[in-house]
Structure 1
């Protein structure tokens, strides 16, 4: 007995209520497919008819001409056709098979002739809408003349899993390059995505103010690159009318298997952005947040324009894993570059500090050596050393010691600021009186440099501040003004402005270029060459830290060749940071 007959015998023994199951009724279409009117269905045909009612797997019966004469619903769904096409006799095997793989059909027919069975073979079905389905099939020759029973398994899930593993593996290799800049890594991910699982991809970084900044855009088609660059920017997460992006900021991904007009309206505000998004022709879309240390830091957008590429839960899991790897890679790259910058700054600082510490040490050593020789000479000759020469040498030595002390104090201040250990001792201070005292102290130095010091502080300006720290701030501002004042007048003004006190130091020296204004308050930064002006590049950094600790602000306006004006503002009440 053949396999078909044995199965038939076992399946027709009893029906559900225990009675014998008679032959299934045959429709006119079935009768035509099986030989026309008057044809009596044999046991094998009855079995096939029963098999067609099995929901899984996908099953079909074909004749020698390649026409599908019967199929179950699973097969019809797999082929993307309706039963009316089958019943009208318009469904053909060669219309389903991928045109570039005729060898699969020839191989199957050869196996059927030799063995009576064929498969398993992997190929693709092409649906009427142009989409493709990877399948594995097997065929069995039926005892009825020129009939084949075909079993088909949908391999879409397996192929997707294989693609996901391959894609994540390629992405991991791409992300392993920690020397790359973070934004270069994100651009690489976008291009990798369009080569594997998306028609186009966008990468946006979330800024501190809640807005998105686009850092990468990649399109599979070169003609689409220009259009993609014009893609609408996303609304900020702070927008109360944008629940989608607020959800994304909370780390909630979104997948739209069918990207509908209402979904486009969520992503683009206004007629023009919406029209741009429609021109990109996305059929399926995924929005996946990138999260670092519990907060959103960016957004990945994947879009498919292919008819047969609909994103689902498996795709979403894959790109969420990709987002985690991307964030880790970007964090590693950022830490690497921060480490490199720290090493560079350390080396630069050590070179500058060595130079600056050596500057006062050299004249101090020379002056002390000279004083030592004078003392030894006076001792041998018996002539006493004149008090004037002795006092002069000590004055020079003391000036150099003060310079060394200032340098060391600056280094200690930076250390305290970095460790958060800078303390403030608040007391009542007259800013006008303090400025007058410092101007008087700097007047001799200013005269040596050819700078005239002017003070405009007509009335006392009282506030609660740390006197020594405010004195340090004003000293730093005056020192800078005299150093870069180019022998021209320097004016200091103090005035009250409501609940705040304002002090300005204005010089008419070399000025500061616009591109340097934003960085001169950072550590080890200067707007000029240290070779000509010296310094550790710490004075203004320490100034800003002290002023901010007192709840105030310090800024600068300047033009090259026209001088600079530094403005210090402090609240008159209690300091903002104790």
Structure 2
């Protein structure tokens, strides 16, 4: 739906029968028609968040069910009203706004009162304020090819304007929040990128120290502890950077033949010190090599985040990891089970959202992005992830992946099995 000047309204084909637009009697209201219209308006505008979509819907709702022409003027801040959209039925002669419209619109925006001065003229018109809470955000002008309209049209116009104002207000909040989130993500990405270089340099320096043959065992133990902590910081910084890239849709999959069992074994080996420090014995059950066409680095991130989550919330309990092939063999299943604090049913969807945590106990040590990254990457592979848990009974996170990942943003590499 394009936005046009008021003297050039977009012509719309009528989608509702003509009797739906018959003027109501001068006395009384057509209650069934008003109820049906209110339901249609609510059903149409309720799900919309984008201003252009809302304006297009207003045009169709007004022309299909109410008037012969519709103009919507919107106000941003203290600025002058601008024409956001104009429409008319394709079965009526060219319609124009009345000559006194600017003054009438200004009065409606100032007083928040309905303007009915155009009733009885030919064509007749009314102006209804659009508001979201207290602020008036615009006005909706309805033009009728006939010389008058009745109380039913008046009530329908008020209802359409009320719901349209609410929808347009929501769209402004949505637009503001999207800009705020984009700004946050840009700052987040810049900060993690700047942190990456000194962290990697520090890790290299500590690694070099661990190779020194002259250090006493007590000093070496402390250096090993420092290395473990720096490794955690490097991994955390990588997850933060990945979070920003995933949110911006900048991650592509490089598909190759990968053994899931080997990836899990490597993750467990790389986290052996941390697992021991967390007092979390771990077991792995696998039928042997389970090969699929995946991105090995992203697959490692999925496994690493699930194991890290189990360590964090497992409270020193045993962790079991199992790999299986789902009949008839075109999908594989990875399950990570811990014996920790568990997750209430009402939190089980929320924990896969960005920056969400189910337990306030670990709020200071977790950004709440690990499981969100898991879900984003699993879905990029064309798979699913879910959790089964209850408070005090631990949790089992289950990932199912197709053995050949399908992603619009993938790049192929390696050879086909």
What is the rounded CA distance, in whole Å, between the counterparts of 1:319 and 1:489 in structure 2? 60
Q: Which residue of 2 aligns with 1:535?
A: 366
> How do 1:354-393 residues align onto structure 2 when only pairs under 5 Å count?
386=215, 388-389=217-218, 391-393=220-222
TM-fit CA distance, 1:558: 0.8
CA contact (8 A) 2:310 2:337 kept: yes
Q: Which residue of 2 aligns with 1:550?
A: 381
TM-fit CA distance, 1:562: 0.1
Matched, 1:465 2:294: yes
How many aligned positions are there? 275
What is the rounded CA distance, in whole Å, between the counterparts of 1:532 and 1:320 in structure 2? 45
> How do 1:126-141 residues align onto structure 2 when only pairs under 5 Å count?
131=27
- Runs of at least 5 residues in structure 1 that lack an aligned partner in the other structure: 1-79, 81-126, 133-193, 214-246, 257-289, 291-308, 376-383
Instruction: Give the RMSD, CA atoms, in angstroms.
Output: 4.6
| TM-score, length of structure 1 as denominator length | 0.40
Shift in alpha-carbon separation, 1:316–1:532, aligned structure 2, 3 A: closer
What is the rounded CA distance, in whole Å, between the counterparts of 2:291 and 2:341 in structure 1? 33
Q: 3-state SS of the aligned residue for 1:510? A: coil
TM-fit CA distance, 1:249: 11
CA contact (8 A) 1:432 1:461 kept: yes
What is the rounded CA distance, in whole Å, between the counterparts of 1:202 and 1:480 in structure 2? 48
CA contact (8 A) 1:464 1:575 kept: no
What is the rounded CA distance, in whole Å, between the counterparts of 2:372 and 2:324 in structure 1? 24
Query: Bigger relative contact order, structure 1 or 2, given CA contacts below 8 A and separation 6+?
Result: 2
Shift in alpha-carbon separation, 1:561–1:574, aligned structure 2, 3 A: closer
Shift in alpha-carbon separation, 1:480–1:316, aligned structure 2, 3 A: closer
Q: 3-state SS of the aligned residue for 1:479? A: helix
TM-fit CA distance, 1:573: 1.4
CA contact (8 A) 2:239 2:369 kept: yes
Q: Pick from 172, 187, 193: which aligns with 1:332?
A: 172
Matched, 1:434 2:274: no
Q: Which residue of 1 aligns with 2:403?
A: 572
Matched, 1:487 2:316: yes
Q: 3-state SS of the aligned residue for 2:382? A: coil
- Whose radius of gyration is greater, 1 or 2? 1
CA contact (8 A) 2:321 2:336 kept: yes
- Runs of at least 5 residues in structure 2 that lack an aligned partner in the other structure: 1-24, 48-56, 68-129, 131-148, 411-417
CA contact (8 A) 2:228 2:274 kept: no
CA contact (8 A) 2:38 2:160 kept: no
What is the rounded CA distance, in whole Å, between the counterparts of 2:318 and 2:358 in structure 1? 21
Matched, 1:449 2:278: yes
Please list the CA deviations of residues 485-535 of structure 1 after superposition, one character each: whole Å capped at 9, or x if unmatched. Answer: 122211111011121111000111100111111111111111112556611
TM-fit CA distance, 1:398: 2.4
> How do 1:126-525 residues align onto structure 2 when only pairs under 5 Å count?
131=27, 202=38, 205-206=42-43, 251=61, 253-255=64-66, 310-311=150-151, 324-335=164-175, 338=177, 386=215, 388-389=217-218, 391-497=220-326, 498-525=329-356
Please list the CA deviations of residues 531-566 of structure 1 after superposition, one character each: whole Å capped at 9, or x if unmatched. Answer: 566111111111111111111111111100000000
Shift in alpha-carbon separation, 1:535–1:438, aligned structure 2, 3 A: same
